[in-house]
Amino acid sequence: MSSPPERIRWTLRSEVSFGCPVEGCGKTYLSYHHFDPPLRVKRHDNPEGMVALCLEHHKAADQGAFSDEQLRELKKNPYLRKTGGDHRGSFLWRRKQLVLLAGGNFLLGSKTLLTHGGIRVVWLSTDTEDNELLNLDLYGSTGNIILCMRDNDWLTDVPLDDLECRVSGHYMKIVAARWNIWLSIRFDALNTNELAEKVKEISDRVNSYAMKNMPEVLTGPGASLLGQEEMRELEANMMIRGLTQFIHYDDIVLCTIEGDLAWPNTATLREDHMQYGKGSIISGCISAGNAGAGISI
């Protein structure tokens, strides 16, 4: 059976305070267990007969470890709500080269990947085997830390409106509306050909976004060819060559970051563009082989 609809998943995550409700657990990587009735009896997505559990306790529930009454009690009084505990987790992704995609920009080799208002937000470190690891500080609108990540391990201890961590371990999303924040992080394993296809896709989307939102820039003097198929193909090929010449391994990890930043200034990051304040920055650049800063907004 496919995953429940997003609204149902959010309801189930929210009622257990975004962590496994079993006593002493609280793991944030959640799956969705059907118990009233079980799926073998009837296929459904009724949240009253479902509960969010970590994968370990989901498997135990499938084997009958918890009664229906016990599962309903876990929904009413989840572990993290009783203890007021924080949320934490870890990304297991470790490769020699990590490529960051943010705001239509592909970054490789820069130790500092994203600087916002002069403050380092995303940067890389290395472990003892020279794998590149992700570090991140996400600030709320008052300058408070919402999410802190060091060497792929992350922690948040503020009230949240949503926290989605998929059990596959490749994706997380955090929402804290009172501080005007949301952020998603996604890891994907790609080979060089798949990365080239992704670069071309983003390049096309950057051009489409620019044509829709800033046509005066793209149709002004000296820009008559921009947006035509030949120019778009040329730009995509230039971006691919600019990135792949610094790729030394066929096993690549692409880390995609999207979200709304609130401090020290408002900024929006999407796969194909950035918006800083009320102005748009049309993106689509490669930063590779540079030990200095990556994106600065």
Which residue, of 85, 117, 141, is where some domain finishes? Answer: 85
Helix axes 229-244, 192-213, angle to 10 degrees: 140
Residues 185 and 253 in one domain: yes
Q: State yes or no: pLDDT of 226 exceeds 70.
A: no
Tell me the CA distances in angstroms from 9 to 113, 156, 164, 284, one per residue in order: 32, 20, 9, 34
Dihedral class, residue 222 (left if φ above 0, else alpha if ψ from -120 to 50, else beta): left
Look at residue 77 and tell me if it is in a domain: yes
pTM: 0.86
Residues 254 and 125 in one domain: yes
pLDDT in tens, 89-102: 999 999 988 989 98
Residues 113 and 135 in one domain: yes
Tell me 5's DSSP state: P
Residues 44 and 165 in one domain: no
Name the 3-class secondary structure at 115: strand
Residues 182 and 111 in one domain: yes
Look at residue 109 and tell me if it is in a domain: yes
Residues 50 and 148 in one domain: no
Which residue, of 35, 60, 85, is where some domain finishes? Answer: 85
Q: State yes or no: pLDDT of 214 exceeds 60.
A: no
Residues 184 and 131 in one domain: yes
Residues 180 and 251 in one domain: yes
Q: How many domains does the chain have?
A: 2
Look at residue 130 and tell me if it is in a domain: yes
For residues 131-158, give the mean pLDDT. 95
Which pLDDT band holds residue 289 (cuts at 50, 70, 90)?
low
- Domain span at residue 49 reads 6-85
Residues 184 and 65 in one domain: no
Residues 186 and 128 in one domain: yes
Residues 65 and 13 in one domain: yes
Name the 3-class secondary structure at 230: helix
- Name the residue with higher pLDDT: 222 or 12: 12
- Considering the chain, what percentage of its residues have pLDDT values greater than 70? 81
